[in-house]
Amino acid sequence: MSLDTALLQQYAPDLLSGLRLTIEIWLVGSAIALTVGAALGVPLTFARPGLRAVVRCYVEFFRGTPLLVQLFLLYYGGPRIGLTLNAMTAGLIGLGLYGGAYFAELFRAGFSSIPAGQLEAARSFGYSRRDAIRHIILPQALILMLPPSVNLLVIILKDTAILSILTIPELTFQVTGMTLETFAFVEPYLALALGYWLLVELAARLGHAAEHRLTRHMVRA
Amino acid sequence: MSEFLGTTPAIVNLRVLLIGAGITVAVSLAAIALGFAIAAPVCAARLSRHRALRGAGALYVSIFRGVPLLVQLLVVYYALPFVGLELPSFVAAAIALGICTAAYQAENLRGGFLIIPPGHHTAAHAFGYGPVQTWRYILLPQALRAAAPALVNEMIGILKASSLVSVVGVADLTRVSQNIVARNMQPILWYSMAAALYLAINLALAATAGTAERRLGRGMARVAL
C-alpha cells in the first residue's frame, strides 16, 4: 500500500486548521479544568463536612457520567434554562467542568499526602491557616501532583476528539470529513495519529522538564 | 401525523432507556472480557526476557493509549469493511473498546507484577514449586490483588467510554436517550436520566468491586489504623 501524497497535500490546510483548533481547545479546556480543580480541590480537602459534601457531589457526578452525556446536557439542555451556547463554548465549558472534577480529586490527593504535622508545625510558628496552606503545603503538593497532572492533560487532549460530535471542526472532525469525501482511509488516519502523537509527546516532554525544574533543590536519588 | 408525533408516554421511554442501559452494560462487559484476554499476553510480553517481545508489547500499549478512543472506534467500524470484514455495529464497538482497554489493563497488570520482590520467585523455587505452581500460587494472586483497584477504575472508565459507541449506531444508553430527546424535546429530563443511570451503574460496579477486593485480600493481615 502506498501513500497518496497528493491527497495529503490537497487536504493539508484542513488538517492543519483542525490540528490548530485541537491545540486551542486543549489549552483553553485544560486552563478551565485546572482553575475549577484548584478552586474545588481546596474545599474538598480542608472545608467543613457540609461544604465538602457539596463539592464531593460535583466531583462524583462529573467523574461518574460520560463526557458525551454531559456535553449533550449542556448543549441541548442549556437553551431550556436560558443558557444558549454555541457548540464551541459548550464544548470548552463541558471539557473544563469534566476535567475540573478530575483535577479537584488530584489536588485533594496531593494535599492529603502532606503529613498533618506540617500544618500544625506551621501554625505553631505563627503562620495563619491560609498562609500555611499557601507557603508550606502547596509547594510540596505541587511536586507530587505534577506527574499525574501530565497524565490528566493527555487524557483531556484525547477527550477533545469527542467535541467533534458537537460538529466542532477540530482534527478528528476534519479527518472524518476527509475519509467521507475521498474514501481514502490510510492517509487521513495516519495524519491524525501523527497529530495526536506529536501533542502527547510534547506534553510528556514539557512535564519532564517541569518536574526537573520543580525538584531542582531536592537531593536526587 | 400529529398523532404519530404525539408524545410517547414517559413509562415507555423509561423502559427503552433501561434497555439501552442493558446494551451499555453488555458492550462494556464484552469489551472488558476481551480486553483482559488481550491484556494478559501483552503484559507477559512487556515482562518478557526477550527484547523483541518487550518492544512489541510496548508498541501495542503506546499505540492504543496514544490515539483517542473515538478514532479507534471509527477505524474499526469504517475500516474493517474495506478489508472485507463487515461486522454488526455491536461487535465492532466491543472489539474497538476491548483492544483499547487492553492497553490500559496490561499496564495495570504489569504494575501488579512489578511490586512482587524478586525473592518470592527464588523462594518458591527453593521450596520445590515448579514454574506453573509459582505462577498460580505465588505470583498471580499477589499481582491481581495489587492491580485490582486500578483494574476496577479501568472498568468504570470503559463503562463511561462506552457512550462513544452511540456514534457508530449501537443503541446504547446514550443513543437511546438521544432518540427520546429527538422525539419529545425534553433534553434536560432525559439526558439527566441517562446520566443518573450511568452513575447508578458505576456506583453498583464500585460496590461490587469493593467486595471482590476484600475477598482477594482475605489472606492478608490487616493493618490497624
| Residue A64 lies inside a defined structural domain of this protein | yes
Residue A69, chain B, CB below 8 Å: the answer is yes
- Quote the domain boundaries for residue A73: 24-168
B111 within 8 A of B147, measured Cβ to Cβ:
yes
Round to whole Å and give the CA distance between A219 and A60. Answer: 38
| Residue A54 lies inside a defined structural domain of this protein | yes
Q: Å from A220 to nearest chain B CA?
A: 22
Chain A contact probe: residue of B62, B160, B185, B197 with most A CBs at under 10 A: B160
* Stretch 139-168 of chain A: residues touching chain B, C-beta under 8 Å: 158-162, 164-165
Q: Which residue in chain A is spatially nearest to B188 when comparing CA positions?
A: A77
Residue with more model confidence, A220 or A187 = A187
CATH code: domain of residue A111: 1.10.3720.10
The 3-class SS string of B56-81 reads: HHHHHHHHHHHCCHHHHHHHHHHHHH
Round to whole Å and give the CA distance between B222 and A95. Answer: 40
| Residue A74 lies inside a defined structural domain of this protein | yes
| Residue A180 lies inside a defined structural domain of this protein | no
Count CA atoms within 13 Å of residue A22 on its CB side.
29
Contact criterion met (CB < 8 Å) for A158 and B178: no
Q: Å from A184 to nearest chain B CA?
A: 10
- The C-alpha angle A181, A88, B182, rounded to 5 degrees, equals 75
Count CA atoms within 13 Å of residue B218 on its CB side.
6
| Residue A1 lies inside a defined structural domain of this protein | no
Contact criterion met (CB < 8 Å) for B195 and A69: yes
Round to whole Å and give the CA distance between A106 and A11. Answer: 40
Nearest to B73 by CA among B157, B164, B10, B144: B164
For B139-150, what is each residue's pLDDT tens digit?
A: 888 888 888 888
Q: Å from B185 to nearest chain A CA?
A: 9
| Residue A62 lies inside a defined structural domain of this protein | yes
Domain count, chain A: 1
- pTM value is 0.83
| Residue A57 lies inside a defined structural domain of this protein | yes
For A75-118, what is each residue's pLDDT tens digit?
A: 999 988 888 899 999 999 999 999 999 999 999 988 888 888 88
- What is the model's pLDDT at position B1? 41
Residue B101, chain A, CB below 8 Å: the answer is no
Q: Which residue in chain A is spatially nearest to B155 when comparing CA positions?
A: A64
- What is the model's pLDDT at position B144? 86
Q: Write the ipTM.
A: 0.79
* Average pLDDT of chain B to the nearest whole number: 87
| Alpha helices (H) along B6-68 | 10-46, 51-66
For A2-46, what is each residue's pLDDT tens digit?
A: 678 888 888 899 999 999 999 999 999 999 999 999 999 989 988
Fold of B2-216: MetI-like fold (1.10.3720)
Q: Is the pLDDT of residue B216 over 80?
A: no
- What is the model's pLDDT at position A53? 94
- What is the model's pLDDT at position B150? 85
Q: Is the pLDDT of residue B135 over 90?
A: no
Q: Is the pLDDT of residue B91 over 60?
A: yes
Residue B80, chain A, CB below 8 Å: the answer is no
- What is the model's pLDDT at position B78? 82
